[in-house]
Structure 1
Amino acid sequence: MSMIKIENLTFSYPTSYDYIFKNVSFQIDTNWKLGFVGRNGRGKTTLLKLLLGQYEYTGNIESSVEFDYFPYPIADKTKLTNEIFLEVAPMAEEWELMQELSYLDMEADVLYRPFNTLSNGEQTKVLLAALFCNEGHFLLIDEPTNHLDVEAREIVAGYLKKKKGFILVSHDRYFLDSCVDHIFSLNRATIEVESGNFSSWMENFERQQEFELAQNKRLQKDINRLQQSAKRSSQWSDRVEASKIGAADKGYVGHKAAKIMKRSKNIEARQQQAIQQKSSLLKNVETTENLKLSPLKYHANTLVSFSDVACCYDGKMISEPVSLTVQQGDHIAIDGKNGSGKSSLLKLLIGESITHTGTIQHGSGLIISYVPQDTSHLKGNLSDYARENALDESLFKAILRKMDFERIQFEKDMQEFSGGQKKKVLIAKSLCEQAHLYVWDEPLNFIDIYSRMQIEDLIKAFSPTMIFVEHDRAFCDTIATKIVQL
């Protein structure tokens, strides 16, 4: 057992004038399975890269273990997978990787295939297996679930549960609960480490917030009462001072004035104490304002129908044909393994030209709002983006503020945003659009847990007609009215 110690860590990006971390101190055990949670843009990935020594900082990071990072950067993906393995874990034996792959329900023959022919989910599994072959290293795992379907997430969670010595950044509640024994939380004002899984941490965090809110309310009442008392004491003091003029017993009046002055000072001291107590509260309270949506009512019950539709690549169907109807108020989740054509089905729905079997019928005058999976096209500032997409800029930015964007983000180039912030831009755009049908392709990738729950509440409140692909089991359990399996 050894400890990773961070003392007085301070860091900001050279192009930015706001601190990501300021005088941060904490320590973690290298045997822990640590879930790392926090709102988008708080600096989770930045902290991992600081541990890796990729940025200059002030303070001290002390560790007796080497750090490895997932996703591991692969320069040439055309190489055979076993060659990639030797790059990642040069001291390990091939049989060790085969053993690790078997724990991830993968066949050993993937080692003899070019790495770029593996699906994103298969690549994720291979790299995790290879990194865990580096004996004695501490693994920094940054959002591994973004390319994993539901089944693969369960397999990887089971795999990680048997391991130790890692930090896992994830916003998937079920995934975290399945494989971590400590939570490392990047809060609004502090960093905290707590034993347990995500659910136990969340329960404790919410209980602490409730306590602080109640304490804050009580102290505010005390401060208001003490302010009134101080005001009355001041008025009494003024009257006593006035009564000195022409008084027969000035000594008695002076004694009375001294007593009032002492009482006034006691009230002031208690008031300052209450203010000081109050100032230590609510630093980490996470508030989420309700989002709003204005879906359009369609003139018919059926908006879209698919009849024996399957996407084709190189003349081959990539999944069994599917038939479905999208009706008013439906929240349809498209489920299936990676590579089964889920995103292609959504692209067909919005009118992209993809070879397919069967027929798709759209209702006349149907208006669709689409959130793509890819965010790489986002660049420039938010004002220009709103103008280019004919969005109400005030509404667009108000939605982003409700999704925990700081005002300083409005001045930055979107290329500087975190993955979750970029995804929030696409969701905010969709929420600005009045549509009959909302088509969202993996909308929650990289998005923090609070915003996920905020979006769940929005959909439950406004019940827009939706068809979506999403692998977050908690979200699908809460939202989906139908599940279509590919």
Structure 2
Amino acid sequence: MGTIQIQNLTFGYPDQETPLLSDLSVSFDARWHLGLVGRNGRGKTTLLHLLMGDLQVSQGTITTDLAFHYFPQPLPSGADTMSVNDVLLAISAAEPWQWQVEMQDLGLPLTIMDQPFGTLSGGEQTKVLLAELFSAPDGFALIDEPTNHLDEQGRTQTARYLRQKQGFIVVSHDPSFLDDTTDHTLAIEKKQVSLYQGNYSVWHREKTATDTREAEQQGTLKKEIKRLTVAERQREAWSNKTEAKVSAAADRGFVSHKSAKMMRKAKNIERRNTTAIADKEALLKNVDDVEPLSVPYTPWRESTVLRTNAVAVHLAGRQLFQPVSFVLQRGDRLQIQGPNGIGKSSLIHALLGQLPATDVSGSFQVPQGVTFSYLPQTFADPDKLMTVVGPDALKDQTILYWLHKMGMPRPRFLVPVQKWSMGEKKKLLLAYALQRPGNVLIWDEPTNYLDVDTRDQLLAGVQKSDATMIIIDHDRQFTDAVCNRQLALIR
């Protein structure tokens, strides 16, 4: 029976003030369906790479008799221009017919095998890499964010695959997906790592109850810490004064038994109070403070913000979806729906004028003066990300304000963006979009890679806002809660 045993593991990157993981000791059974959860930047992906041996352990040990298989597999250099078939040949140990079976189950046409990988949508690329995972001949699966960009069919198929697996570790910020696939949860929390027997809902229920108790105790704890601190200072002053008298007496050649006993008692009280203060402060530090997040926008003066008439997008001579016509009114929150690869993002790119005119048919009628604030879905390449947000983004106090509101600690701003997690990069892109309010907010897959707390912040912020929005997202709970209109693209 396979196991993973981690003993006293400490790991931090060279540019971090404090270790990312500190004195971690935990054991996993290879039969577990383990969900790995925690806020962005807490070290979930790092832990997977430590298990893989891609990173060197600073202190402690990892002992296992398992061979690991990681998702997503690293892509070969130049993958964007390689065919899907060549990419899979480079990263997979399975036979081609096995990928093809899995791709068809995921809803991918086999005609894409000869298509350049870089021309696929984000969801289609995820499905290709999932086909590699599903067809892998062996290995204990370490799965990092499998549902990003995935449509409903892809999520259903991925969940079905995982339920049939004997054991795995999966990182995800999708509560419904985790509830559907896991039976144990490892949570990397603010000041500790906790292991729970049960799925995401079990962890969330217990964590919420603990946080609620601690929040209720915060006022009392803070008063008690203040009282202990004041008392400690008074005792320290008294102790110093007494010690000075005793020292003077010692210089004269005598120390009373009573004075020595009083000094020892004072020192013992000091140690106990110091421990009590540290213990009570630790209780406060494990609660994540999630502040409300507003969604700023610039209201348009007229009721109609946008009209489209028989718009379609063509790629390599192929029409992606049937022509669509719609009117966007002030205050509408329109969800664009459709399976992976149908052209949802392409429709947005057409609206923003980012496609050649020859690839777009139909017309957009945008009143003069209407401005768009665009949140793109693609941001993985840090160089491209910094091109979008600007090289001085982390000197912009408004962007730093939004990042801090989304739970990023200030010391993280000093770490190069290249070393940020995918969720942290997504937060930077989101902060950039939030500090540029337009008349229409266009968000392409805003919840991808975001931790649950930030996703819920975003959801509540949109619900309280009167912003006019166009949203693409495969998180049904999110879109059902915030969108009041739907536009379904069909082939």
- Residues 1:379 and 2:386 are matched in the alignment: yes
Structure 2 distance, partners of 1:282, 1:463, is 35
1:37–1:183 CA contact under 8 A, matched in 2: yes
Residue in structure 1 matched with residue 22 of structure 2 by the alignment: 22
Tell me the CA shift for residue 173 of structure 1: 2.1
Q: What fraction of aligned residue pairs are identical, expressed as a percent?
A: 38
Structure 2 distance, partners of 1:145, 1:307, is 33
The runs of 5 or more residues in structure 2 that have no matched partner are 237-262
- Residues 1:61 and 2:59 are matched in the alignment: no
1:84–1:115 CA contact under 8 A, matched in 2: no
Structure 2 residue corresponding to 1:367, chosen from 349, 365, 371: 371
1:378–1:414 CA contact under 8 A, matched in 2: no
- Letter of the 1:52 counterpart: M
Query: Residue deviations 1:107-149, cap 9 Å, x none?
Result: 8x67976784876545544543443454552111111222312
User: Between Structure 1 and Structure 2, how many residues are aligned?
Assistant: 461
Structure 1 residue corresponding to 2:169, chosen from 153, 167, 170: 167
Tell me the CA shift for residue 366 of structure 1: 0.4
Residue in structure 2 matched with residue 438 of structure 1 by the alignment: 441
Query: 1:114-129 residue pairs with structure 2 within 5 A?
Result: 116=117, 121-122=123-124, 124-129=126-131
Query: Residue deviations 1:19-64, cap 9 Å, x none?
Result: 2222221111111111111111122111111111111113111011
1:381–1:414 CA contact under 8 A, matched in 2: no
- Letter of the 1:464 counterpart: A
Structure 1 distance, partners of 2:105, 2:317, is 34
Tell me the CA shift for residue 398 of structure 1: 0.9
Structure 2 residue corresponding to 1:356, chosen from 353, 356, 360: 360
Tell me the CA shift for residue 189 of structure 1: 1.5
Structure 2 distance, partners of 1:182, 1:420, is 23
The runs of 5 or more residues in structure 1 that have no matched partner are 235-260
Residue in structure 1 matched with residue 47 of structure 2 by the alignment: 47
Residue in structure 2 matched with residue 240 of structure 1 by the alignment: none
- Residues 1:72 and 2:73 are matched in the alignment: yes
Residue in structure 1 matched with residue 257 of structure 2 by the alignment: none
- Partner secondary structure for residue 61 of structure 2: strand
Residue in structure 2 matched with residue 476 of structure 1 by the alignment: 479
Structure 2 distance, partners of 1:211, 1:427, is 32
Residue in structure 1 matched with residue 259 of structure 2 by the alignment: none
Tell me the CA shift for residue 65 of structure 1: 0.7
Tell me the CA shift for residue 185 of structure 1: 1.2
Tell me the CA shift for residue 218 of structure 1: 3.0
Query: Residue deviations 1:209-244, cap 9 Å, x none?
Result: 11122234333444566789999999xxxxxxxxxx
Compared CA separation, residues 114 and 65, structure 1 to 2 (3 A): farther
- Residues 1:417 and 2:424 are matched in the alignment: no
Structure 2 distance, partners of 1:296, 1:111, is 41
Residue in structure 2 matched with residue 158 of structure 1 by the alignment: 160
Query: 1:227-266 residue pairs with structure 2 within 5 A?
Result: none
- Partner secondary structure for residue 27 of structure 1: strand
1:12–1:18 CA contact under 8 A, matched in 2: yes
Structure 2 distance, partners of 1:381, 1:348, is 18
Tell me the CA shift for residue 276 of structure 1: 4.6
Larger Rg: 1
- Letter of the 2:376 counterpart: P
Tell me the CA shift for residue 337 of structure 1: 1.0
TM-score, scaled to structure 1 = 0.82
Structure 2 distance, partners of 1:205, 1:419, is 24
Tell me the CA shift for residue 289 of structure 1: 1.3
Structure 1 distance, partners of 2:129, 2:316, is 29
- Letter of the 2:369 counterpart: G
- Letter of the 1:43 counterpart: G
Tell me the CA shift for residue 299 of structure 1: 1.0
Query: Residue deviations 1:151-195, cap 9 Å, x none?
Result: 321222222222232111111222222211122211111122212
Tell me the CA shift for residue 422 of structure 1: 1.5
- Letter of the 1:379 counterpart: M
Tell me the CA shift for residue 104 of structure 1: 4.6
Tell me the CA shift for residue 470 of structure 1: 0.9
Compared CA separation, residues 26 and 312, structure 1 to 2 (3 A): same
Query: Residue deviations 1:342-370, cap 9 Å, x none?
Result: 11111122232342221111122101111
2:159–2:181 CA contact under 8 A, matched in 1: yes
- Letter of the 1:282 counterpart: L
Residue in structure 2 matched with residue 255 of structure 1 by the alignment: none
Structure 2 distance, partners of 1:118, 1:438, is 25
Structure 2 residue corresponding to 1:408, chosen from 406, 411, 421: 411
Compared CA separation, residues 81 and 326, structure 1 to 2 (3 A): closer
Structure 1 distance, partners of 2:339, 2:388, is 36
2:229–2:277 CA contact under 8 A, matched in 1: no
TM-score, scaled to structure 2 = 0.82
- Partner secondary structure for residue 311 of structure 2: strand
Residue in structure 2 matched with residue 4 of structure 1 by the alignment: 4
Structure 1 distance, partners of 2:339, 2:285, is 42
1:369–1:437 CA contact under 8 A, matched in 2: yes
Query: 1:325-344 residue pairs with structure 2 within 5 A?
Result: 325-344=327-346
- Letter of the 2:305 counterpart: L
Pairwise CA RMSD: 3.7
Structure 2 distance, partners of 1:184, 1:347, is 39
Compared CA separation, residues 189 and 85, structure 1 to 2 (3 A): same
Structure 1 distance, partners of 2:388, 2:153, is 38
Tell me the CA shift for residue 208 of structure 1: 0.8
Structure 2 residue corresponding to 1:149, chosen from 145, 148, 151: 151
Residue in structure 1 matched with residue 241 of structure 2 by the alignment: none
Residue in structure 2 matched with residue 219 of structure 1 by the alignment: 221
- Letter of the 1:71 counterpart: P
- Letter of the 1:385 counterpart: D
Compared CA separation, residues 54 and 273, structure 1 to 2 (3 A): closer
Compared CA separation, residues 82 and 370, structure 1 to 2 (3 A): closer
1:88–1:131 CA contact under 8 A, matched in 2: no
- Letter of the 2:66 counterpart: V
